[in-house]
Amino acid sequence: MYKGLENKVALVTGASSGIGRAASIAFAKQGAKVVLASRNEASTLQTLHMVEEVGGEGIFVKTDVSIADDVENLIQTTLKTYGQLDCAFNNAGVSGPAGPLFQLAESDFQEIMDVNLKGVWLCMKHELTAMLAKGGGSIVNMSSAAGLIGSVGIAAYTASKHGVIGLTKCAALEYAKANIRVNAVCPSVIDNTVMVNQVKAAYPEVYNYLLATHPVGRIGQPEEVANAVVWLCSDVASFITGVAFPIDGGTVAGQIPKAS
């Protein structure tokens, strides 16, 4: 097996399930040592076990990305354990409640921004410091297809994901000559994530609507996002930075008209 990230160290936040879990395994398959960060210890230790099952190596660091001390500890533990940080996937996020903008509680708005936007900024702040010391690296931030277009009923989430793209572009420009690439991925509806599983069980009609917004006729799989993340972190993507990369089955391109 080709291992394009051998001797590299990759960090994944939100590694407890879904896309974060798939990315952790994908990094390990490519030869990287993986640092798994999450608030959910039990589930993330399961991810670590899966990393080890595919022949990988890693550690778990309990982290709330909205807390500066936690993020600083995450990076310092990474450097203390492995001596370097080459790749980072800032994936941790929350969706928050759905509903009209005026009904959104201030506390819910603040939590979404603290995790999805401030959390990405805090992670980049400390990751960039580590990568500057090493002489380069690659960061991928988790945005969303909702970060590229408007969405109904998830205003705070949408705003946070637009903000992630803004942070990504600014960092890409600031650190391009320092050999640090910064990109964002923008998935649409991805299976086996907490939100999609909840919708599928409780609101099958909403799930069917979401399915219909994908021109390819299906929703995505976590591994499809993970593969794109690992590719963006690898040397084969060495000329790509500042990109908001849709992984959406054609959703952002537009809807296929139904036959009348």
Residue range 232-248, pLDDT digits in tens = 999 999 999 999 999 99
Name the residue type at position 100. Answer: P
Q: Is residue 102 part of a domain?
A: yes
Q: Is residue 112 part of a domain?
A: yes
135: left (phi over 0), alpha (psi -120 to 50) or beta: left
Domain containing 158 equals 9-190+221-247
130-145 CB burial, b ≥16 within 10 A, e <16: bbeeeeebbbbbbbbb
Are 44 and 15 a contacting pair, CB within 8 Å?
yes
Are 47 and 16 a contacting pair, CB within 8 Å?
yes
Residue range 145-156, pLDDT digits in tens = 999 998 888 899
State the pLDDT at residue 259.
56
Predicted TM-score (pTM) of the model is 0.94
Domain count, the chain: 1
Are 231 and 32 a contacting pair, CB within 8 Å?
no
Which of 22-36, 153-167, 206-220, 237-251 shows the lowest per-residue confidence on average (mean pLDDT)? 206-220
Q: Is residue 71 part of a domain?
A: yes
State the pLDDT at residue 168.
98
State the pLDDT at residue 6.
95
CATH of the domain at 74: 3.40.50.720
Q: Is residue 176 part of a domain?
A: yes
Q: Nearest-CA neighbor of 71 among 20, 37, 43?
A: 37
Decide: residue 200, CB within 10 A, 0-12 exposed, 13-18 middle, 19+ buried: middle
Distance, C-alpha 237 to centroid of its chain: 17
Question: Across the chain, what does the average pLDDT equal?
Answer: 93
Phi/psi at 140 (5° precision):
-125, 125
Helix-helix angle 41-53:18-29, to 10 degrees: 30
Q: Is residue 195 part of a domain?
A: no
According to DSSP, residue 153 is labeled S
Which residues neighbour 34 within 8 Å (Cβ) at sequence distance 6 or greater? 9, 10, 11, 12, 24, 27, 28, 51, 56, 57, 58
Q: Is residue 186 part of a domain?
A: yes
Catalytic site includes residue 157: yes
Q: Is residue 152 part of a domain?
A: yes
Q: Which of 2, 82, 157, 203 is catalytic?
A: 157
- Interior angle at CA 17, CA 76 and CA 233, nearest 5: 55
Q: Is residue 255 part of a domain?
A: no
